Every structure is written in C-alpha cells, then in structure tokens.
Amino acid sequence: MVVIANINQAMRPPKAGADGASSRGTVMAAHVRMRALYETHADAIFRFLLRLTLGERGLAEDLLQETMLRAWRNLDALPTEPEAVRRWLFTVSRRIAIDGARARQARPTEIAAPDIGQLPEDRDAMEAVVSAVTVRRALAGLSEAHRAAIIELYFLGHSVDEAAARLAVPEGTVKSRAYYALRALRAAIGSEHLV
C-alpha cells in the first residue's frame, strides 16, 4: 500500500478558489459530500474488492481506504451524477487492486528459514532402537545410586538442586555420582556410541 508521509497534507480538503483559501462552508460541504459518498458506495466497493482479493479482508479494506482517499483528493473533479461517481469509484478501486497485485508479483517471494526442530533427523529408526537397548543394558550394570543420579539428571531433566532434593543427598554427591556413572557408561557402551 502507499505510505503517506504527511497525513495532514493527504487529508487536506479540496481548495476552493484560485487563491487557495477555503471558506468554512466549502470545507463543511466537502466533508458532507465525502461522507455521503462513503455511506452510499463503500459497502458495494468493499464487496467488489473482496472478490478481487479472493476473500482477503485486510487487503480489501486497505484498497477501499486508498480508493476513498483518491476520491477525497479529487473531490472537486468527481462527477455530480450518482451513477457516474459510482462508475468512477469502481474503476479507481479496480485499478488500485491491479496495481497492488502487480506490485506483490514484482517482489520476490519471501521464504522463511525452516524450523530446525521440525526437520527429520538423519538417523534412522533402527539405529535409535539399537542405541536405546544398548543404553538400557549399560544402565542396568550401574549401581542403584549411580543409575538414580543419571535418571534424575539426564532422563527426567532435573537440575542438580532438584535431583539432590528428590534423592535426599547433597548436591556434591549428585554431581559425583553422575560423573562416575557417565564414566562407567562410556566404558560399557564405548565412547563412539555416546552422544
């Protein structure tokens, strides 16, 4: 859509007279005429633009606004007959819609970066099953205290503080058990299988 740098300049009523001075009555007449144009034709033009934009309400509203803005800017030049004004408004709205569609087509299509979390993994399902079975067997070979520390920290995702509270041991003990448990798992599984 067209960005208007100075909204006050865009909404300035049509000038009356050669010297550019507007009387209060002329300004009020312009406001009354514009309000009448909007109330009479806006719904029909909006429906027309809604069809042209394939149901995109926001875009149709923007195009209607631009159509009415052009009508306001050319209020003195608009025909006085209602049917002629209606034809003028429909022609302008159609041209604005076409120009907008051309402008959107001229821009390159925006492509968002893919969400890495949604991409499939490179590993296949069988490799994941084999890894899970290997880790379970290695965990079974650990002492109960070491296994509990690993489960709390790595499988349940608790912090050291939370794991210590749940296991009823000091934080240093949780850290120590996790360290030695990981060493034992590496030895049991082999360091190339551990992530």
**pLDDT digits over 113-171, tens only?**
666 666 666 666 777 787 788 888 888 888 999 999 989 998 899 999 999 999 999 99
96 and 174, same domain (yes or no): no
92 and 23, same domain (yes or no): yes
How far is it, in rounded angstroms, from Cα 16 to Cα 175? 85
In a domain, 34, yes or no: yes
Confidence of residue 23 (pLDDT cuts 50, 70, 90): low
In a domain, 112, yes or no: no
Q: Is the dihedral of CA 25, 28, 34, 35 positive or negative?
A: negative
12 and 85, same domain (yes or no): yes
In a domain, 132, yes or no: yes
In a domain, 86, yes or no: yes
149 and 176, same domain (yes or no): yes
pLDDT tens digits, residue range 69-92? 999 898 888 888 889 999 999 999
Task: Judge whether 38 and 68 are in contact, CB under 8 Å.
Answer: yes
Start-to-end Cα distance in the chain: 52
91 and 48, same domain (yes or no): yes
In a domain, 49, yes or no: yes
How far is it, in rounded angstroms, from Cα 66 to Cα 85? 16
Q: Give the mean model confidence (pLDDT) for residues 8-33.
A: 61
pLDDT of residue 140: 86
Looking at the structure of the chain, the number of domains it has is 2
| Residue keyed to tokens 């087509």 | 105
102 and 137, same domain (yes or no): no
12 and 99, same domain (yes or no): yes
Domain boundary among 106, 131, 149: 106
Residue that wins the pLDDT comparison between 1 and 194: 194
* CATH number, domain with residue 25: 1.10.1740
Domain boundary among 45, 80, 106: 106
93 and 179, same domain (yes or no): no
pLDDT of residue 113: 66
Q: In a 3-state reduction of DSSP, which class is residue 14?
A: coil
pLDDT of residue 148: 92
pLDDT of residue 7: 38
Average pLDDT, the chain: 80
Q: Is the pLDDT of residue 187 over 90?
A: no
Which class for 176: exposed (0-12), middle (13-18), buried (19 or more C-beta within 10 A)?
middle
Domain range for 143: 123-189
16 and 87, same domain (yes or no): yes
Confidence of residue 3 (pLDDT cuts 50, 70, 90): very low
How far is it, in rounded angstroms, from Cα 192 to Cα 195? 8
76 and 131, same domain (yes or no): no
pTM score, whole prediction: 0.44
Residue that wins the pLDDT comparison between 64 and 108: 64
| Residue keyed to tokens 């120009």 | 99
How far is it, in rounded angstroms, from Cα 131 to Cα 139? 12
pLDDT of residue 141: 85
pLDDT of residue 190: 75
Task: Judge whether 112 and 140 are in contact, CB under 8 Å.
Answer: no
37 and 81, same domain (yes or no): yes
pLDDT of residue 116: 63
98 and 131, same domain (yes or no): no
pLDDT of residue 30: 84
